[in-house]
């Protein structure tokens, strides 16, 4: 069977690595390692520089325990661990072994590789994982966030999660990561995620080991310490289905560990996971009543009384997913997988709020352009000294609104393009968003340039000046949008609230600024009859005031900050309203929109707030 339709997903955890091989016909199987459905993460660095994994590594470590690395994923960023071995090379060994096992099944290397990563990882850790994958010979794998993979698996296995519904994934492995997701038309979006590396199976293992030893001297270093840790982990898993288990202790008599001992060791962790779940729901600005369900996965998801603790904190009894340690790997293989034959991309009608975010700046752009054209004053039309008094600031704002309207339609444009494209990369969520943003930027810039051409031809004036006022002010925003498209293509992360929310410009700012500029243009061109002079001047001041308020609404979000900042900015804008100042005010608003976009990129994509702690690369297993 060829590798053309094969997909390999790998979930590297602290204790083990799981790999799933999926096919285009919908079939999937867990890759075995030395007869086990998982690969223990420990490895052995041989004297010749070779890295051994699995059973061979544990056997070799009995003779040379100093060359054994129990968890290559926690060796740090580039630090030497054993005999000068780099951390990236050590972390790549389990991936290389998984790829080799998949190649043995398929008959050739699998090119469609997905790696499971925590939702809380930022660009630095994701880049680190890509370096590890490159070292393992995997090329450019797709990084799939663990909760997104879990949610996709739930849908694939028949769980009804309608578009617009919210779901919580509670991933308890070596640590804990709780994530709130929303199902959108293009897939699942991460709304909030909180992580605590001390609230998982590793902490339970330490507490259970202390209870088993009960004051006895613990094995100090060497292979005995690693054997003890693995023994306790196996005992923990066994106690999930048996009332007692015998735990061998090096240098001492075996100890019988009971369910009560496990309950006591797990209680602090279970309580902390329940608190994280409650806090994560609140961070997503939701209530438990908004949720379609809470699902527990991970190697330590079967901890005693975990479901009871979560139910006490949220009022919802969580569901333990079958084979919880395999769910993320299975789901990652299913993300973006085409159905049998050619997959169709559904182009959905945008919700009202998204449609408003597109329509409002679009209509404002056309309205400002129409007013600028209809109210421009021609002078000396029959003379060589012909000139036109035209509001260039209004042209700038019309160009800004055209660009942001097209960018807001990015996800829709991406779906339309993907629906008609045979390229598989464009059918992924990141591919659709990326190509949609690029299409929106191209369309917005083209419309702004068209505005300049229309004005130039309408008045018979040189084009260069109008192009300058139409294109240069929107150039920084266009560059930021292209940067976002690159981030979407590389799938660094799904922004909080989803891409559609990220790409939407605040309509309140658009309406306020557009009305302000419209009033300014009216005051500039209205007939100044003696009995109307005061009212016309007042209209100009109100227009400047509104334009200043609209600028502040684009710069800051908290209401108190808006009130504090709006007062001086609005007063200054109202004080300087003249025919020459409209260009300055228009460019100022364009700068405010650029600052707003830069802040969104920084807070939603580069450095999002994901909770009190973050996971260390790449510990996810139990």
pLDDT category at 490 given cuts 50, 70, 90 is: low
- Whether residue 333 is predicted with pLDDT greater than 80 in this model: the reply is yes
Average pLDDT, the chain: 81
Four-point Cα dihedral 293, 296, 302, 303, nearest 10:
-90
CA 99 to chain centre: 26
Instruction: Please compute the mean of the pLDDT values over residues 528-532 and round it to a whole number.
Output: 80
Give the integer Cα–Cα distance in Å for 488 and 430.
5
Instruction: Please compute the mean of the pLDDT values over residues 255-276 and round it to a whole number.
Output: 86
Give the integer Cα–Cα distance in Å for 86 and 95.
15
Indicate the pTM of the whole model: 0.56
pLDDT category at 367 given cuts 50, 70, 90 is: very high
Q: Spell out the domain ranges in the chain.
A: 7-140, 147-340, 352-606
- Whether residue 442 is predicted with pLDDT greater than 90 in this model: the reply is yes
pLDDT at 311: 93
Burial (Cβ within 10 Å: 0-12, 13-18, ≥19) of residue 213: middle
- Long-range contacts (CB closer than 8 Å, 24 or more residues apart) made by 234-238: 235/208, 236/201, 236/204, 236/205, 236/208, 236/262, 236/265, 236/300, 237/302
Instruction: Please compute the mean of the pLDDT values over residues 582-606 and round it to a whole number.
Output: 88
Closest-CA residue to 125 (of 598, 457, 606): 606
- Whether residue 257 is predicted with pLDDT greater than 80 in this model: the reply is no
Q: Which two tokens stand for residue 401?
A: 């609104």
- Whether residue 608 is predicted with pLDDT greater than 50 in this model: the reply is yes
- The residue that leads in pLDDT, 274 or 157, is 274
- Whether residue 538 is predicted with pLDDT greater than 70 in this model: the reply is yes
The answer to whether the CB of 286 falls within 8 A of the CB of 166 is yes
pLDDT category at 400 given cuts 50, 70, 90 is: very high
- The residue that leads in pLDDT, 331 or 78, is 331
Percentage of residues in the chain having pLDDT higher than 70: 85
Closest-CA residue to 95 (of 67, 73, 79, 65): 73
The answer to whether the CB of 207 falls within 8 A of the CB of 167 is no
pLDDT at 57: 77
Question: 76: which residues sit within 8 A by CB, 6+ positions away?
Answer: 87
Task: Give the lowest-confidence range in 1-10, 448-457, 560-569.
Answer: 1-10
Strand order in the sheet with 68-69: 51-53, 43-45, 68-69
Question: Among 3.40.50.300, 3.30.420.40, 3.20.20.80, 3.40.190.10, what is the CATH number of 147-340?
Answer: 3.30.420.40
Instruction: Please compute the mean of the pLDDT values over residues 466-494 and round it to a whole number.
Output: 86
7-140 topology per CATH: Nucleotidyltransferase; domain 5 (3.30.420)
The two most distant CA atoms of the chain are separated, in Å, by 110
Domain 7-140 shares a fold with domain 147-340: yes
Task: Give the lowest-confidence range in 67-81, 113-127, 368-382, 554-568.
Answer: 67-81
pLDDT category at 201 given cuts 50, 70, 90 is: confident
Q: Which residues pair with 22 in a beta bridge?
A: 7, 28
pLDDT category at 345 given cuts 50, 70, 90 is: very low
pLDDT at 149: 92
- Whether residue 74 is predicted with pLDDT greater than 70 in this model: the reply is no
């Amino acid at each position: 069977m060829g590798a053309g339709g094969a997909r390999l997903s790998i979930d590297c955890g602290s204790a083990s690595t799981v790999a799933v091989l999926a096919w285009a016909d919908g079939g999937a199987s867990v890759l075995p390692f030395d007869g086990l459905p998982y690969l223990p993460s420990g490895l052995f660095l041989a004297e010749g520089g070779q890295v051994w994994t699995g059973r061979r590594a544990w056997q070799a470590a009995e003779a040379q325990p100093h060359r054994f690395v129990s968890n290559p994923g926690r060796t740090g960023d580039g630090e030497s661990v054993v005999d000068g071995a780099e951390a990236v090379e050590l972390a790549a060994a389990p991936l290389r072994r998984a790829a080799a096992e998949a190649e043995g099944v398929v008959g050739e290397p699998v090119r469609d590789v997905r790696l499971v990563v925590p939702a809380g990882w930022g660009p630095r850790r994701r880049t680190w994982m890509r370096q590890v994958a490159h070292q393992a010979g995997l090329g450019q794998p797709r990084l799939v966030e663990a909760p997104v993979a879990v949610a996709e698996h739930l849908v694939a296995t028949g769980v009804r999660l309608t578009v617009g519904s919210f779901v919580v994934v509670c991933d308890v492995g070596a640590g804990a990561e709780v994530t709130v997701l929303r199902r959108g038309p293009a897939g699942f979006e991460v709304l909030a995620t909180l992580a605590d590396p001390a609230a998982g199976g590793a902490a339970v293992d330490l507490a259970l080991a202390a209870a088993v030893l009960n004051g006895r001297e613990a094995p100090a270093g060497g292979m005995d310490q690693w054997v003890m840790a693995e023994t306790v982990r196996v005992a923990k898993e066994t106690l999930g289905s048996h009332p007692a288990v015998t735990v061998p202790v090096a240098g001492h008599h075996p100890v019988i560990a009971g369910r009560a001992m496990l309950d006591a060791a797990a209680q602090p962790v279970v309580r902390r996971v329940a608190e994280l779940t409650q806090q994560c729901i609140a961070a997503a600005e939701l209530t438990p009543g908004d949720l379609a369900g809470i699902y527990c996965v991970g190697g330590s998801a079967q901890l005693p009384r975990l479901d009871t603790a979560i139910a006490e904190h949220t009022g919802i009894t969580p569901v333990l997913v079958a084979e919880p340690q395999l769910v993320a790997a299975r789901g990652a293989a299913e993300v973006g997988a085409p159905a049998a034959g050619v997959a169709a991309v559904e182009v959905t009608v945008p919700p009202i709020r998204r449609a408003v975010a597109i329509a409002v700046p679009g209509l404002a752009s056309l309205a400002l352009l129409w007013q600028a054209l209809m109210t421009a004053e021609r002078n000396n039309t029959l003379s060589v000294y012909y000139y036109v008094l035209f509001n260039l600031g209004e042209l700038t704002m019309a160009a800004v609104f055209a660009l942001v309207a097209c960018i807001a339609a990015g996800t829709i444009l991406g779906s339309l393009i993907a629906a008609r494209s045979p390229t598989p990369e464009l059918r992924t969520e990141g591919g659709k968003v990326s190509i949609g943003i690029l299409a929106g930027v191209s369309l917005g810039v083209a419309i702004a340039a068209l505005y300049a051409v229309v004005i130039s031809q309408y008045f018979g004036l040189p084009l260069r000046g109008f192009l300058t006022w139409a294109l240069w002010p929107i150039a920084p925003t266009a560059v930021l949008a292209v940067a976002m498209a690159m981030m979407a293509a590389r799938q660094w992360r799904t922004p909080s609230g989803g891409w559609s929310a990220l790409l939407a410009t605040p309509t309140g700012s658009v309406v306020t600024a557009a009305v302000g500029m419209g009033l300014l243009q009216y005051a500039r061109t209205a007939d100044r009859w003696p009995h109307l002079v005061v009212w016309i001047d007042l209209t100009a001041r109100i227009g400047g005031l509104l334009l200043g308020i609209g600028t502040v609404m684009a710069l800051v979000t908290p209401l108190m900050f808006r009130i504090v900042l709006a007062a001086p900015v609005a007063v200054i804008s109202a004080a300087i309203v003249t025919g020459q100042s409209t260009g300055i005010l228009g460019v100022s608003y364009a700068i405010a929109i650029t600052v707003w976009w830069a802040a969104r990129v920084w807070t939603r994509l580069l450095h999002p707030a994901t909770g009190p702690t973050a996971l260390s690369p790449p510990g996810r297993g139990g």
